Structure 1
Amino acid sequence: MSTQTNQLPIPPHFHPETVGEVWRVPYQQRASEAEAWAKQHHISPAALDKTRICLLLIDVQNTFCIPGFELFVGGKSGTGAVDDNRRICEFIYHNLGRITKIIPTLDTHTTMQIFHPIFWVNNAGEHPTPAATNITPADIEKGIWQVNPDIANSITNANYELLTKHAYHYVKQLSQDGKYPLTVWPYHSMLGGIGHALVSAVEEAIFFHCVARQSQTQFEIKGNHPLTENYSVLRPEVLQGFDNSPLAHKNTSLIQQLLEFDVVVIAGQAKSHCVAWTIDDLLTEINQIDAGLAKKIYLLEDCTSPVVVPGVVDYTEAADAAFARFAAAGMQIIKSSLLQM
Structure 2
Amino acid sequence: MKPYVYITRKLPQETLAELQEIAEVEMWMEEEKPVPRSILLEKANKAAGLLTMLSDRIDEELLRQAPYLKAVANLAVGFDNINVEASSKYGVTVCNTPDVLTDTTADLAFGLLMAAGRRITEAAEYIKDGKWNSWSPLLLAGTDIHHKTLGIVGMGRIGEAVARRASGFDMKVLYHNRRRKIETEERLGLSYRIFEDLLKESDYIVCLTPLTPETKDLFNEKAFKMMKDTALFINVSRGGVVVEEALDRALSEGWINGAGLDVFREEPINPDHPLLRHPNLTALPHIGSASTETRLKMARLAVSNIAHVLQGIKPPAAVNTGNHE
The reply to whether TM is greater than 0.5 is no
Q: TM-score, normalised by structure 1?
A: 0.28
Q: TM-score, normalised by structure 2?
A: 0.29
Please state which structure has a larger fraction of its residues in helix: 1
